Structure 1
Amino acid sequence: MALRSGRTRQAGRNDEVTRTPLGAVRRAQTITTYGVGSLIAIEDQSYIVSGLDSWRVWPSDVIYEPRLQHWLRVARFQLPPADEPSSGDGLRVRIFPEVYSCGVCKKLQEFKRFGSPQGKSVCGSCDKPLTPSRFVVACENGHVDDFPYFEWVHKKTATDRDLSEKVKHELTLESSGQTASLRSVVIKCSCGVQPASLEGAFGKGAMPDLGIKCKGRRPWLGRDAGEPACNATPRTLQRGASAAWFAITRSALSIPPWSQSLQQRLNSHYELLRVFLESGTPDSVILKAIEKTDLMNDGRFTAEEVLAAVHRRHELETSAPPDSDETAFMFESANALRREEYHQLYDGTRIVARDENFECVQASGDGSALPYGIRRSMLVKRLREVRALESFTRVTMPDAAGGDTRRAAMAKSSVDWLPAIEVSGEGVFLVVDEQLVREWEQRPGPVTRAHQIWLNHTRLLRERAAQSGSVKAPGEIKSPVTPRYLLLHTLAHVLINEWSLDCGYPAAALRERLYVDHDMAGVLIYTATSDSAGSLGGVVAQGEHRKLYETLESALARAEWCSQDPPCMESEASGIDSLNLAACYACVLLPETSCETNNVFLDRAMLIGAPDDPATGFFYKGD
């Protein structure tokens, strides 16, 4: 997919809009890496991806997933526009940061003031390449702005005379090169104010100490799209830092009836038939309209079956979205969306047509060959997943349990769709023995270790709530982490590591999907990619009873020892925000694309026990 500029860099108001191809990214990257509001470097310039209202989307690229549409309250999903005229003309990007510097004349100013020739990024005075500002400021509410170089140098050392409007202010950026620290980066002004280095600019209180507040800028939506007030503290970030943009993605599996042939074929006709329903048209009239559509061409479905499917879709749309308050996706592994999937995965499917998107059958055998602790193994031979970009945050990543309420705007005006991709794959769904789990999660060891993570997570949630001005009392904000969740999550990680060695898939090609609540204890390990790597059959084979027994035994044996032990096993806190215990990259951590909680809430002691208490491990069978 092509990335295209908006207006020419020096265009006037009456100039025509030109959209010059600047670079390309994969469609999937616009959901995870280069989505709306993200920064992207292309050659010697830096850009920010524009909002959804600047995207040119096409009816042929509509994606349907009724359950996820209902949950996110959108009419449809759209594939990001490709770079071919028949399916789009790429994404729009805007220059950001707007401040550039010249390495020869040292000037530090807005790009447009350099007089660079159209299509180039060079200084108009010395004809040397320009460099976009290395630093930006952002806040947790998603706002982002150029680093305030003028305020930084003047508020530190300026006098009233220096700030007078009669005094000319021309900034320069110089580096002594003596060290790699920010102390060597010095900002000077022609007004004669004392130069100031950028030392200390990354501190949490650097901006508030100088009285610099967040201006509420949203450059991805345009120059005039700022918000009037923002109480969040602006923080200095490097332009290419991962903290400059965190995607908030939501996903759902296509399960019956929405994965079935009839609902798939109904997608392109549903809007018209929905209008009939909502206008009170009698069913007899709607049946005649259905008979005139191509839904009836091959005779697979009767008009009555189609009408029943229309009514079912309409009932879903008009029902209240589950958890429709601010905690809609709080602890995703236990929400209603996952609960529907859990029951379908647990029960499986019987007769499945070739063009349907979901096929799940129980592994052959009577269960005697299943490993200890595993109650059921289901082979998911076909699955389809839709992943949508709901929003994004900056500075700190979204809360791993799903309770974060920060949402940056994706468009300046209201839109009824979100960008999404659909992927196909296969997987294995494992259910842990409920009775054994209930007994295990009452033991002192699992309770104590889980409580350590619970305390750290609860403290983090309360700090973020206080910063965002939440009206909830601190006592109402609690972590949802339980021993059961830590067990299932860590089990998924060790199996992904093991299966990546056994079946030939790289760990990054495998993903986890957790189903954890007081009455759920399941994990889906699957491939879901846009290419053939997602459907080669290698993962499904791991779910057969005898094979599963072998790989789980091997995975637990590997988990018993880590090259970073004893510090890893004896750690009282590790990982991001101290939300792990015995977990590091030498044992259970995975590529971030494989884990749905950013590699937190992990503890391999939940599987194999702690040195001083082997009974902490779920798979510990006693002497």
Structure 2
Amino acid sequence: MIDPKKKKDGAKGARPDGQLRQSQLVTTFGPGAMVDLVDRAVVIGSLEHWGYGREGHVTLDDPRLRRSLIPRLKALDPDLDLAREGYFRMPPEGDARDPDTRVGVRALEFPRWFVCQHCHRLARASEQFENKNGRYRHQCAKNKWSSAVPVRFVAACKRGHLSDFPWIPFAHMDREGGVCDRQELYLIEKALGDVARIFVRCANCDASTAMSRAMALPYHCNGDRPWLGGRAANEKCDQNVELLVRTASHAYFAQVVSALRLPDPEPDPLRLRLRDKEVWKAVQKVTTVAQLSMIMELMDHVASAVGKTPPEQVIAAIRAENEASTATSERPLRSAEYDRMVTAPLEQQGIVPEPGVQFAAYRVPKHRLDLPPGIRGLVVVPELREVRVQVSFSRFDSIGANLQGEYDFAARKVKPAVLTLPTGNEKWLPAAEVRGEGVFVELDEEVLHKWEKRDAVVKRAELLLRAFEATGRGEFPGVRFFLLHSLSHLLLTAVSLECGYAASAIRERIYCGQAEVGGPNMAAVMLTTGTTGSEGTLGGLVEEGRRIRYHLREAWDLGRLCSNDPVCAAHDPSSESSDRRTEGAACHGCLYIAECSCEWFNRFLDRALVVPTIGNDPELAFFRERP
């Protein structure tokens, strides 16, 4: 990470101002994120400010994910697009031993207002402070110099725009004559951490305003996008600015879409023969066995292509070809992954994946497992590659993906911020590839359907729906998702105690869907662990996955009693006093896990739907008895 004000292009041997891991540039510190350096603060530059040098970029292209992302980018801005090649790229990799300013990410200085650590003078760095060797200093008194640091308060809006806090008008907010002629501002902090006792004072006119007044600012956003560079990148905005602390946890939320690298399935030999130009011309409109028999009698090349294949199978192949040719949209990401998992071949002892394979999944035969009621099967994934791509980012509030792991930006009134200038030449997105392993646990659809029809579960679903509607958030995921998500967290915690990986190193992947609401029937959870390094993982998660019944028992025991019971178990999310509208019986003592492991920011959880809990109807629990 380099500062363009300190280094000249092409300079060799100049040290960068900071370092970040490549994977962090796709999640926590992507374009538009604020980062603290030793003596100043910066905002990470947009994709136009990423340099790869002579070595060029590393491509992580995935056609399936590209087709899924293009309409979502268009919903953000019609000018956004992805190139035909090189559309997913790893962040540039610098060499600390031989640094080169042509390789790295340019960071732009932000905020531009600094405060003196001695006299608390508050001003723009370019107006009141002297830059010496990359550090800003202030001459408080004669021959006395003090260091100046970036002010910790900035202004932002829900569209992701970012600007310096309006210090001058804010300090004179209560002054009758408005802003005075010669402003001399000071930031007075009487009690550390208490905004009610932090004041901005103008020494010239003695106007003063407490920072507690900044909780509701009357100023419109100017549409500033400093990560894009220059005022020309600003856009119109209809939002009001809000106070934001630079290092706050809600200052940056990256919208990251991930997809497993699935190899193309082996083509059906029959469908390959039907694709012959002359054969397909003859059979493409065939819908019945009688029509097929007549054409086979009249055309020898059709009879030769069909051979001895049963007529019903040929009709099904023709129908599948027609559906594939008329498809207008990419199949949802999770649906394609789910189908590949549930149709995985049976595991054979002694057979291992070939070196370098991107994906390998095997269904463990039931005679090798001790599956409890409610669990249909187990699929182990010894080789797994996942591509994670950042699409946009937001501030103040996270944006949840749908059940397919995709973002519906078109349905949002307030859209997040973009990573690059839409009209620019950068038609690519930053990406990272995770190599690892996983365990796929599939629930029994028949048992699950009966559980969803129970009176106690229906009433619980209505309660959760009422609480969710009070939040004003998108679409209710359904009681099935609450079950799968809660089971995933309990199982993740139980497995982490045995597999050799920390709980924060394991990540969940939820497969949920119901045909009744217009989607495919899906009910499974997959726990994965991986690394962006080239060596992958060591196989401990897969081996522990074979002991699925043991881990389900441990998960059942973990969920039965929480250290905060009976308060946790009796939590009513629909209550007016509730501060957790998206959770039932869930808290830090039982279900919450590290946010890097959870896809849904620890929302939509209720352990009462998984195991019997204190004060709740046992009929709520999917696993009423210990597995």
Structure 2 distance, partners of 1:389, 1:421, is 9
Task: Tell me the equivalent position of 1:593.
Answer: 596
Q: Label 1:528 to 1:48 Cα distance change in 2 as closer, same or farther (>3 A).
A: same
Which of 224, 248, 260 is the matching residue for 1:253?
A: 260
SS state of the match for residue 29, structure 1?
helix
Contact 2:223 2:236 in 1 (8 A): yes
Aligned partner of 1:452 among 453, 460, 463: 463
> Is contact 2:506–2:528 with CA below 8 Å preserved after alignment?
yes
* 1:145-164 matched pairs, under 5 angstroms: 145-159=163-177, 162-163=179-180
Match of 2:148 in 1: 130
1:606 and 2:609 aligned: yes
CA separation of 1:244/1:67 partners in 2, compared to 1, >3 Å: closer, same or farther? same
Q: Which amino acid aligns with 2:58?
A: D
Deviation at 1:226, TM superposition (A): 4.6
- Measure, in 2, the Cα distance between the counterparts of 1:438 and 1:86: 60
* 2:298 alignment counterpart: none
**2:39 is the alignment partner of 1:25:** no
Structure 1 position 399, deviation (Å): 2.8
2:189 to 175, 185, 192: 175
Change (3 A) 1:502 1:353: closer
Tell me the percent identity: 32
Q: Does 1:383 align with 2:380?
A: no
Q: Which moved more, 1:150-159 or 1:57-66?
A: 57-66
Q: What is the CA–CA distance in structure 1 between the aligned matches of 2:484 and 2:111, rounded to whole Å?
A: 43
| Cα distance in structure 1, aligned partners of 2:579 and 2:259 | 26
The worse-fitting range, judged by mean Cα deviation, of 124-133 and 520-529 is 124-133
Q: Which of the numbers 520, 523, 528 marks the counterpart of 2:522?
A: 520
- Do structure 1's residue 81 and structure 2's residue 85 form an aligned pair? no
Contact kept? 1:425, 1:527, Cα under 8 Å: yes
Partner residue in 2 for 1:418: 429
Q: Secondary structure at the match of 2:430?
A: strand
Deviation of 1:533 after TM superposition, in Å, equals 8.7
Deviates more, 1:30-39 or 1:105-114: 105-114
Secondary structure of the structure 2 residue equivalent to 1:121: strand
Offset, 1:240: 0.5
Distance, in Å, in 2 between the alignment partners of 1:403 and 1:453 is: 23
Aligned AA (1:597): W
Determine helix, strand or coil for the equivalent of 2:132.
Answer: coil
SS at match of 2:32: coil
Separation in 1, partners of 2:494, 2:146: 53
* Mapped contact 1:107–1:171 kept (Cα < 8 A): yes
| Cα displacement (A) at 1:93 | 0.3
Rounded Cα–Cα distance in structure 2 between residues aligned with 1:509 and 1:316 = 39
**Residue aligning to 2:65:** 68
Alpha-carbon distance between aligned partners in 2 of 1:106 and 1:87, rounded to the nearest angstrom: 35
What is the alpha-carbon distance in structure 1 between the residues aligned to residue 326 and residue 121 of structure 2? 59
Output the TM-score relative to the length of structure 1.
0.78
Deviations 1:501-554 (A, max 9, x none): 01121001111111100111111111121248952111111232xx11111012
Q: Partners in 2 of 1:228 and 1:41 — Cα distance?
A: 26
Name the Cα RMSD after superposition: 2.9
TM-score by length of 2: 0.77
Task: Give SS of 1:490's match.
Answer: helix
1:87-486 aligned at under 5 Å gives the runs 89-113=103-127, 114-123=129-138, 126-159=144-177, 162-163=179-180, 167-177=181-191, 180-201=193-214, 203=215, 206-208=216-218, 212-257=219-264, 320-322=328-330, 336-349=332-345, 353-366=354-367, 369-399=370-400, 401=402, 402-403=407-408, 405=412, 406-412=415-421, 413-461=424-472, 479-486=475-482
C-alpha displacement at 1:88, in angstroms?
6.5
* Contact persistence 1:101–1:130 (CA under 8 A): yes
Instruction: State the distance in 1 between where 2:595 and 2:491 align.
Output: 16
Give, in whole Å, the separation in 1 of the partners of 2:126 and 2:265.
52
Q: Secondary structure at the residue paired with 2:568?
A: helix
2:512 equivalent to 1:510: no
Aligned to 2:566: 566
Match of 2:4 in 1: 6
Question: What letter is aligned with 1:484?
Answer: R
Larger deviation, residues 112-121 vs 577-586: 112-121
Q: Which amino acid in 2 is paired with 1:89?
A: V
Q: Which residue of 2 aligns with 1:291?
A: none
Which of 542, 545, 553 does residue 543 from structure 1 map onto? 545
8 Å CA contact retained: 1:583, 1:589? yes
Q: Deviations over 1:542-573 (max 9, x none)?
A: 232xx111110121012101111000110012
In 1, Cα distance between equivalents of 2:193 and 2:389: 40
- Name the CA shift for 1:532/1:419 in 2 (closer, same or farther; >3 Å): closer
Going from structure 1 to structure 2, the CA distance change for 1:558 and 1:159 (only over 3 Å counts) comes to: same
**Equivalent position amino acid for 2:620 in 1:** T
The match for 1:296 is none
Amino acid at match of 2:555: A
Equivalent residues of 1:168, 1:190 under 8 A apart: no
Cα distance change on mapping 1:89 and 1:507 into 2, 3 Å: same
Task: Write the distance in 1 (CA, Å) between the matches of 2:190 and 2:354.
Answer: 69
Moved over 6 A (4+): 15-19, 85-88, 315-319
The unaligned stretches of length 5 or more in structure 1 are: 10-14, 261-314, 323-334, 463-477
Q: How much has 1:72 moved relative to structure 2?
A: 1.5
Task: Please tell me whether the aligned partners of residues 461 and 479 of structure 1 are also in contact (alpha carbons under 8 angstroms).
Answer: no
In structure 2, the residue matched to 1:274 is: none
- Shift in Å at residue 577 of structure 1? 5.1
Paired with 2:580 and 2:66, the residues of 1 have a C-alpha distance of 32
